[in-house]
Amino acid sequence: MREVKASDIAAAVARMCVSANTRLPEDVRRKLEEGHGRETGAAKEIFRQLLENADLALETGLPLCQDTGLAVFFVDMGEDVKVVGGGLREAIEAGMRKGYQEGFLRKSSCDPLTRRNTGDNSPAVINLDLAPGDHLRIAFMAKGGGSENMSRMTFLAPAQGWEGIKKFVVRRVAEAGPNPCPPTILGIGIGGNFELAPKLAKKALLRKLDDVHPDPRIAEMEKELLAEVNKLGIGPMGLGGETTALAVKIAVAPCHIASLPLAVNVQCHSARHEEVEL
Cα–Cα distance, 210 to 213 (Å, whole number) = 10
Q: Is 141 helix (H, G, I), strand (E, B) or coil?
A: strand
How does DSSP assign 173-237, residue by residue? HHHHTTTT-SSEEEEEEEEE-TTHHHHHHHHHTTS-TT---SSHHHHHHHHHHHHHHHTT---GG
Tell me: the pLDDT tens digits for 198-257? 999 999 999 999 999 999 999 999 999 999 999 999 999 999 999 999 999 999 999 999
What pLDDT is recorded for position 119? 96
Tell me: the pLDDT tens digits for 1-33? 899 999 999 999 999 999 999 999 999 999 999
pTM (predicted TM-score): 0.94
Tell me which amino acid residue 182 is.
P
Sign of CA dihedral 76, 103, 62, 72: positive
What pLDDT is recorded for position 139? 98
Tell me: the pLDDT tens digits for 55-64? 999 999 999 9
What percent of the chain has a predicted confidence (pLDDT) above 70? Answer: 100
